[in-house]
Amino acid sequence: MIDVVMVLIVFFLIVGRLASDRAGVRLAESGLGRVDESTPAVTITIAPGPVPPGAAAPAQGAFAARVVVNGLPVADEAELERLLRDAAARWASEHPEAGAGEAGPAETGDGPQAGSVFARLPVQVAADKGLGFERIRPVLAVCARLGVIEVGLITERAP
Amino acid sequence: MSGRRGALLRRGASDRAGAHAGPNMAPMVDVVMVILVFFMASAAFVGPEWLIRALLPSRAGPEATAPRGGGAQPEPGPARIDLVVRAGAGAAGGWSLGIDGADALSPADAEAALLARVRDAESSGRQVEAVLRSEDGVPWEAVIAARDIAARAGIARVGVDHAAPPVSGAPAGR
């Protein structure tokens, strides 16, 4: 029985990781990238499909794709913004050497700010290669609005 | 006599059982094997990422495209090229690339044109940066391919703009 339970645990660990991470995402190929082994603060996965169950689906600002941020499904721009702010605050507290400061009330403005923690926040985006750009645009817009200056686009290495 | 023989036999049986006393190895081997398989699977699925960097131009202006971490402003007078990925053209792959509002070109022609632009700019001592925009309906892989074209042409700073591009007055792909 212990053996069976162990096998089940392993099975669900693997399946859960895949399901929350990149399931259903076919990455575009690029020959001009580089290997990055750093740990991003935020990984945004954009996959085709409906908004995942359990996530609210408001009419305005809702994504037309399945957006997952660090394993959490996101339904709309407001929710994405909240998760990015949380991740930025966490990253700033963990990396004081980066001179990021705290992502506190000063980060709640609408526009990007010079020296903002978002300007240094390592963000990676993994989008399905078949998605139309109009489905990816809102995600990039939220990042840019918060002050993210650069993102890493996750691709597959072209042969 | 028979009682003593029986006692000896029982003692021998208990000795044999005592020789095998201790941790049962079979479940432990099973668990170890499962852990081994888990780490093998993890190693197969979680590898280093293959990343390309893209700037996110801000609505505040082109100065917001400064590279990460520096707050450094671009060199004075960089030549900026506006690239627009257009959908539905007759080019291979179903997309084409417009350069600075001109008619969209096939990816191969666009790369040659960009290379010429970069050489012109570099001959006058200017750096080149590009802002990439995309029409609705253009697949993400076309945007990545367009970004690769710009990088192959020698443009190191490429921004992916989230704003919708202006509507083309001329049909794409001519």
Q: Which residues of chain A have pLDDT under 50?
A: 57-58, 102-112, 114
Of B58, B140, B152, the CB nearest to A131: B140
With a cut of 80, say whether residue B52 has pLDDT above it: yes
> How close A5 comes to chain B (CA, Å)?
10
CATH number of residue B88's parent domain? 3.30.420.270
pLDDT value of residue A104: 42
Residues B144 and B112 in one domain: yes
pLDDT value of residue A95: 83
With a cut of 80, say whether residue B88 has pLDDT above it: no
pLDDT digits (tens, 9 = 90+) for B70-82: 445 555 578 889 9
How many Å is the Cα radius of gyration of chain B?
34
Residues B134 and B106 in one domain: yes
With a cut of 70, say whether residue B19 has pLDDT above it: no
Residues B32 and B91 in one domain: no
Residues of B in contact with A113 (CB under 8 A): none
Closest chain B residue to A115, measured at CA? B71
Q: Is residue B115 part of a domain?
A: yes
**Structural domains of chain B, count:** 2
pLDDT value of residue B44: 56
Q: Is residue B139 part of a domain?
A: yes
Q: Is residue B118 part of a domain?
A: yes
Instruction: Write out residues 67-106 of B within 8 Å (CB-CB) of A.
Output: 67-69, 71, 85
Over residues B95-112, mean pLDDT: 87
Residues B12 and B89 in one domain: no
Q: Is residue B19 part of a domain?
A: yes
Q: Burial level of A141, CB count in 10 A (0-12/13-18/19+)?
A: middle
**Structural domains of chain A, count:** 1
pLDDT value of residue B47: 61
Q: Lowest-pLDDT range, B15-19, B68-72, B165-169?
A: B68-72
pLDDT digits (tens, 9 = 90+) for B122-168: 888 888 899 999 998 899 999 999 999 999 999 988 999 988 777 66
Q: Of all helices (H) and strands (E), which one includes residue B78?
A: none
Residues B77 and B14 in one domain: no
Residues B146 and B93 in one domain: yes
Q: B61 pLDDT band (50/70/90 cuts)?
A: very low
pLDDT value of residue B89: 62
Closest chain A residue to B27, measured at CA? A3
Q: Is residue B71 part of a domain?
A: yes
Distance between CA atoms of residues A22 and A24, nearest Å: 6
Q: Is residue B53 part of a domain?
A: no
pLDDT value of residue B173: 38
Establish, for the pair of chains A and B, how many residue pairs have beta carbons separated by less than 8 Å.
152
Query: What 8-state DSSP symbol labels residue A107?
Result: G
pLDDT value of residue A87: 92
Residues of A in contact with B62 (CB under 8 A): none
Distance between CA atoms of residues A148 and A41, nearest Å: 12
Residues B35 and B66 in one domain: no
Residues B38 and B70 in one domain: no
Residues of A in contact with B51 (CB under 8 A): 33-36, 124, 152-155
Residues B71 and B149 in one domain: yes
Distance between CA atoms of residues A94 and A88, nearest Å: 10
List the domain range (segments joined by +) for residue B136: 62-160
pLDDT value of residue A56: 52
> How close A84 comes to chain B (CA, Å)?
16
List the domain range (segments joined by +) for residue A119: 2-157
Task: Tally DSSP H helices, then E strands, for chain B.
Answer: 4, 5
Residues B67 and B40 in one domain: no
Instruction: Write out residues 131-170 of B within 8 Å (CB-CB) of A.
Output: 134-141, 143-145, 147-148, 151-152, 160, 162, 164
Residues B94 and B132 in one domain: yes
pLDDT value of residue B16: 57
Whole-Å CA distances, A66 to A20, A126, B14:
11, 12, 65
All residues at 6 or more sequence positions from A71 whose CB lies less than 8 Å from its CB, including other chains: A20, A21
Q: Is residue B174 part of a domain?
A: no
For chain B, percent of residues with pLDDT exceeding 90: 21
**Selected residue with higher pLDDT from B67 and B162:** B162
Closest CA to A74 of A117, A105, A43: A43
Query: What ipTM does the predicted assembly reach?
Result: 0.76
Q: Across the interface, do A35 and B49 touch by the CB < 8 Å criterion? A: yes
Q: Of all helices (H) and strands (E), which one includes residue A57?
A: none
Residues B12 and B79 in one domain: no
Distance between CA atoms of residues B39 and B30, nearest Å: 14
Give the residue carrying structure tokens 């001519």: B174
